[in-house]
């Protein structure tokens, strides 16, 4: 019989985990010992728990599977709360494995170190930001509880919480089963698919809008096939930027309402039917629209339910829905191609001169770089770096486009590198870099070599756009490039377009260490999208 620790590790692996991210502490030390000795899953330790959560989240996003964060009780687990809240908001199935006191300690009558209020406060906090929880305090029920919780993470694509009391690590238990996924009820699925096909068939200018669940459930290719078969154009939401990068023939761009390409905005706002697949109905995705949905002609599939017009089919997984739509349309005569607006044209051909840098120059330089060397997977923080990413070719992009928490970019890029073995490009502003940039010091140990572009305007520039009068948005110049060597990487500060182009080319050639390019941008110089996005959000707030 396996021990609980080995059963848990094997169970995580059988449910698709390929690595762990974590930071040890005494309540989780016995588990870390088993992690190291069994090597069932490799473990990447980082420096501060927020980064552990972000890295596990990004690994989950890139692999369309679960990501795992292992933390100690209290002082460790509470540090990962914000990252898990963000993963919940953006529907990323992060599995939190948290150490906890053993049974004897719980009954000792003493307050325990790392404890906040009661010994179960941690559980109560995580219950709020995860979709299922298990406390592994019973060897008989533990394997079944782990299986249920991991199935919930995969079925709902949301974080889950597993608490492992430290005296349970070596207890013998049965192996963790993999429970079969629960499929849609066939009659409900058939009725729903028929209704949607009929609704789309009546429309003359339908549009498919995709968001993150389409990647979470691994159905990007199926959605592209459906769009081709129906002759319907596809756009991503802001949050869904980076989706369907393999299907440029159907993808028209990213819908950003009043902040975006007017042709894409018109396409969506003039549509007479919308099929919203896996779309989070949030302010950053839709507040920039002047138009409200006409629900009579809208379909929304999210969180295992499908809304068609004014009624809802519960318990209907999106992957089953898309498969059913494909079945129903198989062999249909090819539809008449619709006249479509042009693709968004992303800037190319940077003039490598001595002019100071603007964010758009960074987008232009990266498009040129991708043309020469192929696209790179990206992770971005929130801030103007993410709005600038809207001017970069639609390559894979993990970013907090809805939750919009700072500090995601660097650890997410580390997570992408660790989980995929590919070399990512990290986009981050100086404000967010101050929060988690330090984590780059962990790259050397694991042989990771991301290319990091720090947009350094010595400001919280996005906040300045919201509220220009406030001086607290002025930060000092930390000279991040100079710090890179002591973190085991290479750093270079660039202030002109010529320097940027040269530094990028050298970074691509430099393997084995991280390359930090600190792009100095004058205060107040932002991407076009940022300014339009912020004014759109403000006017949406005023409309309410
Ligand atoms: C996210 O940012 O949450 C996404 O799922 C988008 C995405 C797109 C492509 C690769 C990874 C993540």
Quote the CA–CA distance of 63 and 67 in Å, as a whole number.
9
For ligand 1, say whether the CB of 396 is within 6 Å of any of its atoms: yes
Q: Whose CA is closest to atom 3 on ligand 1? A: 398
Q: Using one digit for the tens of pLDDT, what is the confidence trace for 433-459?
A: 999 999 999 999 999 999 999 999 999
Decide if domain 4-165 falls under CATH 3.40.50.300.
no
The architecture CATH gives domain 359-534: 3-Layer(aba) Sandwich (3.40)
Strand 206-210 to 234-236 pairing: parallel
Helix H or strand E encompassing 493? strand 490-494
**Given this model, what pLDDT does residue 221 score?**
98
For the Cβ of 404 lying below 6 angstroms from any atom of ligand 1, the answer is no
Give the model's pLDDT for residue 370.
97
Tell me, in angstroms, the distance from the centre of ligand 1 to residue 273's CA: 25
The residue extents of the domains of the chain are 4-165, 186-328, 359-534
Residue positions in the annotated binding site for Mg(2+)?
430, 457
pTM of the model: 0.97
Which residue has the least CA distance to atom 2 on ligand 1?
398
Q: Cα separations (Å) of 47 from 18, 33, 39, 350?
A: 21, 18, 21, 37
- Find the 377 Cα to ligand 1 centroid distance in Å: 10
| 359-534 has the same fold as 186-328 | yes
Q: Where are the alpha helices (DSSP H) in 212-261?
A: 213-216, 220-230
Q: Is 161 in the pocket of ligand 1 (CB under 6 A)?
A: no
- CATH of 186-328 given 2.102.10.10, 3.40.50.1220, 3.40.50.720, 3.40.50.970: 3.40.50.1220
- What pLDDT is attached to residue 336? 63
pLDDT recorded at residue 45: 98
Q: Which portions of the chain are predicted below pLDDT 70? A: 333-339, 341-342, 544
Given this model, what pLDDT does residue 112 score? 84
- Rounded to an integer, what distance in angstroms lies between the CA atom of residue 494 and that of residue 500? 6
379 lines ligand 1 (CB under 6 A): no
Which of 90, 159, 217, 242 for a ligand 1 pocket mutation test, highest count of atoms within 8 Å of Cβ? 242
Say yes or no: CB of residue 63 within 6 Å of ligand 1. no
* Length reported for the chain: 544
Binding residues: 430, 457
ipTM: 0.89
| Confidence at residue 344, expressed as pLDDT on a 0 to 100 scale | 74
Task: Kindly give the number of the ligand 1 atom that is closest to the alpha carbon of 416.
Answer: 11
- CA of 413 from ligand 1 middle (Å) equals 12
């Amino acid at each position: 019989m396996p021990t609980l620790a080995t059963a848990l590790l094997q169970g995580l692996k059988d449910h698709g985990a390929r690595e762990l991210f974590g930071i040890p502490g005494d309540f989780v030390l016995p588990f870390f010992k088993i992690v190291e000795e069994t090597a069932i899953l490799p473990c990447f330790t980082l420096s501060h728990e927020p980064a552990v959560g972000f890295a596990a989240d990004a690994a989950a996003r890139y692999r369309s599977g679960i990501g795992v964060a292992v933390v100690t009780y209290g002082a460790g687990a509470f540090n990962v709360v914000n990252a898990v809240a963000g993963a919940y908001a953006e529907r990323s199935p992060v599995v939190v494995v948290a150490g906890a006191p053993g049974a004897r300690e719980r009954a000792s009558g003493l307050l325990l170190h790392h404890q906040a209020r009661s010994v179960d406060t941690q559980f109560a906090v995580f219950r709020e930001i995860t979709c299922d929880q298990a406390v592994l305090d019973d060897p008989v029920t533990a394997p079944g509880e782990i299986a249920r919780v991991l199935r919930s993470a995969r079925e709902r694509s949301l974080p889950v919480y597993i608490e492992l009391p430290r005296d349970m690590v070596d207890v013998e238990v049965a192996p963790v089963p993999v429970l079969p996924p629960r499929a849609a009820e066939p009659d409900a699925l058939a009725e729903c698919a028929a209704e949607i096909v009929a609704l789309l068939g009546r429309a003359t200018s339908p549009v498919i809008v995709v968001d993150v669940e389409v990647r979470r459930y691994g159905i990007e290719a199926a959605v592209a096939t459906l769009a081709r078969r129906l002759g319907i154009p596809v756009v991503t939401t802001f949050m869904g930027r980076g989706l369907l990068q393999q299907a440029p023939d159907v993808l028209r761009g990213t819908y950003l309402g009043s902040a975006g390409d007017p042709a894409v905005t018109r396409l969506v706002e003039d549509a007479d039917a919308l099929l919203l697949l896996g779309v989070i109905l949030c302010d950053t995705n839709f507040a920039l629209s002047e138009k409200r949905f006409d629900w009579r002609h809208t379909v929304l599939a999210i969180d295992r339910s499908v809304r068609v017009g004014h009624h809802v089919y519960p318990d209907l997984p999106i992957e089953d829905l898309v498969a059913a739509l494909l079945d129903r349309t198989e062999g249909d005569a090819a539809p008449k191609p619709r006249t479509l607006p042009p693709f968004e044209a992303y800037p190319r051909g940077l003039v490598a001169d001595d002019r100071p840098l603007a964010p758009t120059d960074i987008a232009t330089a990266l498009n040129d770089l991708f043309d020469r060397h192929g696209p790179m997977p990206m992770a971005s923080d929130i801030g103007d770096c993410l709005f600038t990413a809207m001017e970069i070719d639609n390559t894979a992009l993990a970013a907090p486009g809805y939750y919009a928490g700072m500090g995601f970019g660097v650890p997410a890029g580390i997570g992408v590198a660790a989980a995929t073995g590919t070399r990512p490009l990290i986009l981050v502003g100086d404000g967010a870099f101050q929060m988690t940039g330090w984590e780059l010091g962990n790259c050397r140990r694991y042989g990771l070599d991301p290319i990091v572009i720090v947009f350094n305007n010595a400001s919280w520039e996005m906040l300045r756009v919201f509220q220009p009068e406030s001086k607290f948005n002025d930060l000092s110049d930390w000279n991040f490039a100079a710090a890179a060597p002591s973190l085991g990487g290479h750093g270079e500060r660039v202030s002109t377009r010529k320097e940027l182009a040269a530094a990028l080319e050298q970074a691509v050639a430099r393997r084995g260490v991280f390359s930090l390019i600190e792009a100095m941008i004058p205060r107040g110089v932002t991407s076009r999208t940022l300014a339009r996005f912020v004014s759109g959000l403000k006017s949406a707030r005023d409309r309410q």
